[in-house]
Structure 1
Amino acid sequence: MKLNKLSLRVRIFFAMILLVLIASVLIAGVTIYQYNEEAIDYHKERLERKETAIISDINYVIRETTYLVETEKVPLIFKDEIYRISEIHGLRINLYDMDGTLLITSKASFINDSITKCIPTNILNEISNNAAHRFVVKNEKNGETFQSSYIYILDTKSKPLAILNLPYLENDDFLNKELNEFLERLAYAYVFMMLIAILLALLLSKYITRTLKTISDKINETRLEKRNKRIDISSSSEEISTLVNSYNSMIDELEESAVKLATSEREQAWREMAKQVAHEIKNPLTPMRLSVQSFQRKFDPNDENIHQKVDEYSQTLIQQIDTLSSIASAFSNFAKMPAQKDETLNVVNIVKLGLDIFSEDYIIFSSEEDEILANFDRTQLIRVVTNLVKNSIQSIPDDREHPRIEVNVSSDNEMVNITVFDNGVGISEDNKIKIFEPKFTTKSSGMGLGLAMVKNIVETYKGNITFTTQLGIGTTFTVTFPKK
């Protein structure tokens, strides 16, 4: 799942939870680091305190001894005292001569073999070259950390007498127990914090995105053909207020543009309609004028065929007048919005009634049910059916060997479906987008208002009309509208 596909609310939620997790990990890491540093300082200081205390006891023994204070006498001086000092301070004590050879140790004699008999040369060099004559060696063995300090023991005249070695085991059991207990308590606190953070993240993300959701819904509802509502948000951040103000300004400008566009479209539509009406009226007027002029020139009262010629001229004029009448009716019907009548009809019977005016024997009617009731105006429904069938008849070429038109009525839940199929020439790609436009026609005669009128009627009843077509094979128009 890509991050850029997540909603802003989800991203804010995850960001806040991630911040809490990162903070928790950092706090835990800093805590562990601090405990480790404190443990190092604790062992260092503890070894120094032990070392100071043991040296004080050793100096006391040296001052009180009856033996001659020299390196060779050290085993005698500390023969018994070394065990007492080791037991008091809880550390093993090793004393070496100035050359690094073991003189005496507080460990029992049967394990002395495990004690280093000589101090390595590099450690002796470090002790002698150090101003404090002290050196600490740190190493690990079997998972345990050991420190071993080396320091000069001075006689009563402050001259080096021996080298004191204190092996020290860093026992972190107590500190580790304290750390584990602290981390356990910290974990409980983190769990509680996480629950609070999740709740706050949900509330904050919802609060932050609520206004954006309102704006998004309003933008989705924005339509050019209707009046859009402004967004009214009483309290919001400066950024949201700027966005809302921009949207409201856009709505005002859109409304002004829609009014101007509608006015322009209406004016353009009337211009086009006027041109179309003028063109259609001129078509029959020209032959009428020619007929009258011809009759005027050739009129001869003494002609024995005068009555026949008058009849022919009259018939021509009547035909052209009928054409003018049909043109006027077509434009009148197109301009007239269908009145919605709350009339419950059996769509099956009405469609059959609309097909009765056609004499073509290749029109086939079928219905899945004998009765499909719907609220529709009877006249307008007949007009829809007759215009679709007439359009199908005109689309079938004269040389089609087996012309066929199939009209089917069916219902789907609360919707009524009327399909009209023909095996005509089909509709080209260029004409598909124009098929429902007024005055568009592919025929040599007619005004191209039939399908536009059908679309107007169907949409008035909250329905729609669609079509599928294949060139040379045929076209299927589907009209769908609600039963109620």
Structure 2
Amino acid sequence: MRPARLSLRSRIFAYMILLILVASILIALVSIYQYSEQSNDYHEKRLERKEDQVRSNVNYVINKETTYVISEENLRLIFKDAIYKIADIHNVDFNLYDLSGTLINTSDTSIASNEVEVPTCLPVDVLNKINTLVDKHYVEEIKTEKGEFQSSYTIITDAKSKPLGILNLQYERDDSFSNNELKEFLLRLGYAYIVMLLVAIVFAYFISRYITRSLKSIGEKLDQTRFNQRNEKIIVEDAGEEIFNLISAYNGMIDELEESAVKLAMSEREQAWREMAKQVAHEIKNPLTPMRLSVQSFQRKFDPKDPKILQKVDEYSKTLIQQIDTMSSIASAFSNFAKMPAQQNEMLNVVEITRLAMDIFNEDYITVYFEREEIIVKFDRTQLIRVITNLVKNAIQAIANDRAPLIDVRVFERDGNAIITVEDNGIGISKENTPKIFEPKFTTKTSGMGLGLGMVKNIVETYNGSITFTSEEHKGTTFTVTIPKN
């Protein structure tokens, strides 16, 4: 099964919320990165300051205070006591190594401190990096279970810049303050973004609704667009360029559709009248043939001295009159169908008009039933009589010769509508003929043009009514006319 697709409004809403969430995450990540960089910069500068201060004191001791000969061998003696004094002044532990990397002295009283172990001999890679760097300065990052440390190595020299040893400064990175500040900042940022997210949800809801309002209007109009009816154009104020172009295209399509519908209707009407003309010509030709034969026969056999001449003239006249009546019936049926019912909009009592229409039928097998004595509708008197008489005539003609005829006419009111039913026990309507029953020229009878039911349907629908039927072959048919009361 194909998964349900989100509407454009839902997608706009989701994308706007997703944009807010992504922006929140990016700002949080940038904030964490910025705090981390600030912390690194702070520790680097602090370490540099500590190194500068310790190195200044070490140089002062070497060049000003000591009474020993300044050499690598006397470095232990020079800083035997001074190393502790310097460490106390600057509150930092540091170590002194000779140029070969061997530990000479340390300000820490224990070789293994509580924080980071002081190596008695520097690794070869550390010595190589110190000696190869231009400024003879190298910083090493150390991570232990108790925290992060920075160990800096700097070569100390005498007044003549002769290398004497290596100064190793141990600096602990304490990020607790920075981390607390970061947590507080992220917490405040989180609260702010929760509020922003709620505001964004409301804002996105109304914005998506506003954006898709025009599209929804267009969609509704497209759903209502029908080829066989007049369609309204779309008018939307303050529409964007894209929506305006879409609306213009739709309105242009409606104009073209109406033009096509008019052309098609004209074509269908022309085709219908052509077919009707053919049918009328065919029906008229049928009686003309026997009329012509009768006249020709009369010409050949006419004898004024014939004793039966008056009888023969009477027979010829009856034949001609019969065929003329047939042609007159055809012409009347065609005229009635072609004439559109005039909407007089009279307030009529359906019961009274039905009684009037049924007065021309004297058959005993026709029964009429009225639920009430007065059901008022807005209709034309002549057209309503035409509807009823046509339905009853069709019912009479549908009766089979092998059964006792029975026709039941009923008039009643249901759901604010006047209902007229005409039920017969005739031959019924076959399934294949059911779709064609209201077509203007369709008929199952051996005579007539099949215009009656088409005319009835035309009249009823002109007054916003409807006509339906139910039928069962060889058992009968019921036609139901529904006329709104207002």
Q: Could you say which TM-score interval applies, normalised by the shorter chain?
A: 0.7 to 0.9
Aligned-CA RMSD value: 4.7
CA–CA distance in 1 between the matches of 2:170 and 2:359? 115
Residue 286 of structure 1 aligns to a residue in which SS?
Answer: helix
CA–CA distance in 2 between the matches of 1:371 and 1:68? 143
Could you tell me which residue of structure 1 aligns to residue 137 of structure 2? 134
| Shift in Å, 1:403 | 10
Could you tell me which residue of structure 2 aligns to residue 34 of structure 1? 34
| Shift in Å, 1:213 | 4.8
Cα 1:414–1:102 shift into 2, 3 Å: farther
Could you tell me which residue of structure 2 aligns to residue 65 of structure 1? 66
Could you tell me which residue of structure 2 aligns to residue 160 of structure 1? 163
Moved more, 272-281 or 200-209: 200-209
| Shift in Å, 1:447 | 1.0
Could you tell me which residue of structure 1 aligns to residue 430 of structure 2? 426
Contact preservation (8 Å) 1:467, 1:478? yes
Residue 140 of structure 1 aligns to a residue in which SS?
Answer: strand
Give the one of 266, 280, 284 matched to 2:283: 280
Cα 1:351–1:180 shift into 2, 3 Å: farther
Query: 2:457 aligned with 1:461, yes or no?
Result: no
Could you tell me which residue of structure 2 aligns to residue 291 of structure 1? 294
Paired letter, 1:427: K
Unaligned runs of 5+ in 1: none
Contact preservation (8 Å) 1:100, 1:163? yes
Paired letter, 2:53: A
Residue 148 of structure 2 aligns to a residue in which SS?
Answer: strand
What is the number of equivalent residue pairs in this alignment? 479
Cα 1:164–1:389 shift into 2, 3 Å: farther
Paired letter, 1:82: I
CA–CA distance in 1 between the matches of 2:25 and 2:405? 81
Paired letter, 1:116: V
Could you tell me which residue of structure 2 aligns to residue 319 of structure 1? 322
Identical aligned pairs, as a percentage? 58
Contact preservation (8 Å) 1:355, 1:385? no
Could you tell me which residue of structure 1 aligns to residue 93 of structure 2? 92
Moved more, 323-332 or 305-314: 305-314
Contact preservation (8 Å) 1:348, 1:370? no
Cα 1:84–1:227 shift into 2, 3 Å: same
Given the two structures, how large is their TM-score scaled by the length of structure 2?
A: 0.76
CA–CA distance in 2 between the matches of 1:67 and 1:402? 151
Query: 2:150 aligned with 1:147, yes or no?
Result: yes
Q: Deviations over 1:238-294 (max 9, x none)?
A: 445544554554455555555544444444444443333333222223223323333
Cα 1:295–1:121 shift into 2, 3 Å: same
Residue 45 of structure 2 aligns to a residue in which SS?
Answer: helix
Paired letter, 1:161: L
Moved more, 77-86 or 54-63: 77-86
Cα 1:480–1:355 shift into 2, 3 Å: farther
Paired letter, 1:292: V
Could you tell me which residue of structure 2 aligns to residue 438 of structure 1? 440
| Shift in Å, 1:449 | 1.5
CA–CA distance in 1 between the matches of 2:373 and 2:169? 110
Q: Deviations over 1:166-198 (max 9, x none)?
A: 333322222223333333444454445545545
Unaligned runs of 5+ in 2: none
| Shift in Å, 1:47 | 1.9
CA–CA distance in 2 between the matches of 1:407 and 1:86? 124
Contact preservation (8 Å) 1:439, 1:449? yes
Could you tell me which residue of structure 2 aligns to residue 336 of structure 1? 339
Q: Deviations over 1:366-395 (max 9, x none)?
A: 99x779946254665565466557667777
Q: Deviations over 1:8-57 (max 9, x none)?
A: 44444444444344333333333322332332233223222222222222
Cα 1:347–1:59 shift into 2, 3 Å: farther
